[in-house]
Structure 1
Amino acid sequence: MTALTQLEELRKKIAADSRSLREASDRLGAVLGAASKHPDALRTYRSGSLASRFTNRPVADADGGLVIDRRKHPALGPDGDGELPRALVDSVHSLIRPLLVQRYPSIRIEKMKRGLLVRFNEPLSSGEDPTVDLVVALNRVEAPGLWIPNLDRNPWDPSHPERHVELFTSGWPQLRQTRQHVVRVAKAHAKQFSEPAVCSFNIAALAWECIELAEPLDRALQRFFDYAAASLVQHLTADPAGVSAPIKVADRKRAVQRFGTVADALDLAIEAGDDDAKVYEILAATGIFWKLVGPPPSPAATIHQAIASGDPMSITKTGTLVAGITSGATSIKPTRSYGGQHVAAYRRRSSGPWYGRFADRLRFEGDTRRHVVGLRIPRRPHQGGVRYRWNVALPGCERRQVRIEFRLSSPGVPRVYVDGPAESPHRYEDGSLCMWYPRDPLERRWSYGDGLHALLGQIAVHLVKEHNWRQTGEWPGAEVPHGVEAKAAQ
């Protein structure tokens, strides 16, 4: 498992549930819809992580705001007499509660320093119960952005939440996705600490500054953490909208140290390639992703998951079945398991079957003669055909003795027999494996031109499928019912 694979698994692990995101968005929409009916409303807006698509699991809240028409309240804000909208916030509260309680009977609305906090008290099946933060704000008269009140400390702060969302969701789709993935993982990293050194908005702003390419997650994260450390050494992060003061950091020195440590670790993890143990050791170290990265799955679990999901698989030069496409390995075609009558798929030449011609046999066997462990290749064909034997140990399965026969009557169709348990829904009447539907197109079945190495891969995958079926009663992967006609199968 490479650093990229491990980090992608981490990203999926922290990803917010789509139903929870939809519910949070619906709740925010309901609150904004109610607030827009206020007689002094100018407009409403969505902001924060949900609008920028930076939300992780669990989905805790959704942010939005109500912009008041300052012409009706000239004394409010720094552009007026500096008055705070306490009475206005109370009037918004009085307006939206009766409008929302019909849909959300357990709703509770509280004042917060920026406006109103709406609690719904209706947990989802996941246990999440997203709240809504509704800011009550004013347009600035001579500058872009909004005046956001602080009802606890009495000042007004300039900000531009609408512009932040516009910037954070800008760019072509692949770039936006890279930025979103980086921010989510970086936020999850910061949340591991009891006292995060930077806030989520700071992480988003740094990602907006440095993520300018669509690239794999491991490279993008390394770029982000390296940039974040170097940037914070020099200065605080600027507001992306150019409206607020630089973003405050709880502990700048600690933030630089944490960012730098992760950047160095990601460098080492990327260099470790597909060394599972080393990648895990690096990423699971304290200070990196120690609360987020799980131990690497066993080879058997990885292969079983790949088969069940229909993910790419390959067989290495030495005959080891692996999930994914590995350099130097032979990819395995995704087939539909079948059973019925053998179908010839090879035309015999007038000069005899392929295994009687040295050049054809050498081409068919390739490097398997030298590399595949446990494979016995006959020196010469016997009178009725050619027979290969393979002693193979598959991840999570018992060791098996495999016999592969190519007969004179059908030299292009292998008959594969295996010792051990014979119970299987996909074997021919003679007990040989039925690994693909013979009338499928070439990209979905093995053919003579694919060679011996690819055939070994198909055998290995089929044996794992049989093993899973014996344990679960369900066949993992595509299949065609026995005896089905070609047209019905296609």
Structure 2
Amino acid sequence: MVRKESLAQLLDEGRRKIQVTDEELAEAKRRRRLLAASVRRAFAGSTAYFNGSVAHGDANTPLTDVDLGVVLTKKDAEPYGPGKKSALTLMEIARDAIHEDIGDEFPKLTIEVEGRRRAILVRFGDPVTPGQADFTADVMTAIPHPSGRGLYIPNTKIAAQWDRADPITHTRMVLQAIEDTKVVFARTVRLLKHWNGTHSKPMCSWNLKALCLNCLDEPMPLINALQVFFTYAADEIDKRPTPDPAGVAGPIPLNMPRADVYKRLCTARKYIDLAIEHEKDGRPVLAQHTLHQVLPELVAKPDATEEEADRLARAVRSGGPAATGLGLATGLVTTTRTRAWGD
């Protein structure tokens, strides 16, 4: 007997496989607190902020890094900024303070400043997730923007040495979306980050989240959230690069040409649409097989008998060009894994 699960069950099981564990999260947050205390001590009167996957509530396992920043007071920030001093001195101060404060607890600790674009890189020499090589932290030294909106953050790769950004608002927007969707936002992002990593990483994680902020604003099943995302994201990427949700920084860059990203998004959207159609029409095994193309490591290929696979293949062939065009007409009886690359 073939085990038949709904798409909702398959996705719930899948996101649980990659969700960060309580133990990983607790240790990552503890180390983040240590770093925040250290940089606040180094810069009297400063404030620390948290961003990235741990702060946004969408971290996956294995957990390998954490992100945070420190914002100087207006007075201390006066010598720094575009046309003034770079952040190098600030980065060196932060490095020395962190070494002094946590070096004894982490004897393999190393901190990189030279050549870093935006933040110092802290290598603990001690992983949070068993079996991983290490655990790292990006610690950014930022200054207030004169307008009061956002920050100036370091960018050692450009002449001005500073970029405008608003990571604090980004985190607030993500947390609000998680609340508004009753956690669906974070769970969808987890799945999307896995999809992204499985299919050549066409986009950075922040781009995925920025797009989600504009299309996921209420609770819904995860399969529908994926459908909404891929539909919206494909249309948006086809038109333009993703703008900064906070309206402060420039467009979010892609990891490959926009046409290629669009292609991958369209392919994933077609698979999701077809999976939903199969489930609606009472073909759960075929629905699972279709969803497997999008999330191959999270949704298992159906364990159908040859007879069942043959029947399903015939059903796909009779389903019209949409199924055939996605490569599903013969995929049920082959051991070769097909991915929604869009190539």
> 2:241 touches 2:253 (CA, 8 Å); kept in 1?
yes
Query: Are the structure 2 counterparts of residues 241 and 272 from structure 1 closer, same or farther at C-alpha, using a change threshold of 3 Å?
Result: same
Q: Percent identity?
A: 29
Alignment pair present for 1:266 and 2:268: no
Counterpart-to-counterpart distance in 1, 2:286 and 2:203: 29
Distance 2:33 2:190 in 1: 23
Q: Is the 8 A contact 1:206 1:224 kept in 2?
A: yes
Quickly say closer, same or farther: Cα 1:225–1:242, change in 2 above 3 A: same
8 A Cα contact 1:35 1:41, kept in partner: no
1:126 has 2:126 as partner: no
Give the match for residue 72 of structure 2: 68
How far apart, CA to CA, are the structure 2 residues paired with 1:157 and 1:176?
Answer: 34
CA contact (8 A) 2:178 2:186 kept: no
Query: 14, 34, 37: which one pairs with 1:33?
Result: 37
Aligned mate of 2:298, from 277, 292, 295? 292
Q: Is the 1:2–1:270 contact (alpha carbons within 8 Å) kept by the matching residues of 2?
A: no
- Contact 1:229–1:259 (8 Å) recurs in 2: yes
Q: Does 2:92 align with 1:86?
A: no
**C-alpha deviation, 1:236, in angstroms:** 1.7
Equivalent residue in structure 1 for 2:263, among 250, 257, 281: 257
Work out whether 1:57 is the aligned partner of 2:61: yes
Given the two structures, how large is their TM-score scaled by the length of structure 1? 0.57
Partner Cα separation in structure 2 for residue 254 and residue 149 of structure 1: 30
The amino acid that maps onto 1:283 is L
Following superposition, the deviation at residue 92 of structure 1 comes to: 1.7
Query: CA–CA distance in 1 between the matches of 2:32 and 2:129?
Result: 19
**1:176 positional shift:** 4.5
Give the one of 102, 113, 118 matched to 1:114.
118
Residue from 96, 101, 104 that aligns with 2:103 = 101
SS at match of 1:134: strand
Distance 1:114 1:200 in 2: 17
- 1:213-228 equivalences under 5 Å are 213-228=218-233
Q: How much does 1:59 deviate?
A: 0.7
CA contact (8 A) 2:289 2:302 kept: no
Aligned partners of 2:146, 2:185: CA distance in 1, in Å? 33
Higher share in strand: 1
- Structure 2 vs 1, CA of residues 201 and 298 (structure 1 numbering), >3 Å: closer, same or farther? same
Deviation at 1:234, TM superposition (A): 1.6
Distance 2:178 2:268 in 1: 28
Q: CA deviation at 1:171?
A: 4.6
Which of the residues 207, 210, 234 maps onto 2:212?
207
Q: Deviations over 1:413-470 (max 9, x none)?
A: xxxxxxxxxxxxxxxxxxxxxxxxxxxxxxxxxxxxxxxxxxxxxxxxxxxxxxxxxx
- 1:200-349 equivalences under 5 Å are 200-250=205-255, 251-273=257-279, 275-285=283-293, 288-296=294-302
Shift of 1:174: 5.9
The one-character-per-residue Cα deviations of 1:211-257 (angstroms, maximum 9, x if unpaired) are: 02201111111111111001111222111111101212232111111
Unaligned runs of 5+ in 1: 300-490
1:197 counterpart = 2:202: yes
SS at match of 1:109: strand
Matched position secondary structure for 1:239: coil
Give the conservation status (yes or no) of the 8 Å contact 2:144–2:150: yes
Change over 3 Å in CA distance of 1:125–1:114 after alignment to 2 = closer
Once the two structures are TM-superposed, the CA of residue 31 in structure 1 deviates from its matched residue by 0.5
Query: 1:38-49 counterparts in 2 under 5 A?
Result: 38-49=42-53
Deviations 1:73-131 (A, max 9, x none): 423102xx332021221122112211111322221111222131111112346224431
Do the aligned residues in 2 keep the contact of 1:4 with 1:270 (CA within 8 Å)?
Answer: no
Backbone CA RMSD of aligned residues: 2.0
Following TM superposition, by how much is the alpha carbon of 1:295 offset from its aligned partner in structure 2, in angstroms? 2.8
Q: Using a 3 Å threshold, how does the CA distance of structure 1 residues 236 and 124 change in structure 2: closer, same or farther?
A: closer
Deviation at 1:36? 0.6
In the TM superposition, what whole-angstrom CA distance separates every residue of 1:140-171 from its partner, at most 9, and x where no partner exists?
A: 01240010111244431110001000000105
Query: Would the alpha carbon gap of residues 32 and 264 (structure 1) be closer, same or farther in structure 2, given more than 3 Å must change?
Result: same
2:165 is matched with 159
Maintained 8 Å contact 1:41/1:67? no
Give the distance between the partners of 1:237 and 1:25, measured in 2 at CA.
30
**Stretches of 4+ aligned residues off by more than 3 angstroms:** 171-174, 296-299
Instruction: Report the Cα distance in structure 1 between the residues aligned to 2:179 and 2:163, rounded to whole angstroms.
Output: 33
Give 1:69 deviation, angstroms. Answer: 2.4
**Given the alignment of the two structures, is residue 141 of structure 1 paired with residue 143 of structure 2, yes or no?**
no
Corresponding letter in the other structure for 2:231: D
Deviation at 1:298, TM superposition (A): 8.2
In structure 2, relative to structure 1, the CA distance for the partners of 1:229 and 1:103 (3 Å cut) is: same
Counterparts of 1:297 and 1:55, CA distance in 2: 30
- The aligned counterpart of 2:333 is none
Cα distance in 1 for residues equivalent to 2:119 and 2:178: 34
Unmatched segments (≥5 aa) in structure 2:
306-343
* Aligned equivalents of 1:164, 1:141: Cα separation in 2: 19
Higher CA-based Rg? 1
Matched, 1:10 2:10: no
> Structure 1 or 2: larger helix share?
2
Report the CA distance shift for 1:40/1:172 in structure 2 as closer, same or farther (over 3 A): closer
Rounded to whole Å, the distance in 1 between the matches of 2:241 and 2:89 is 36
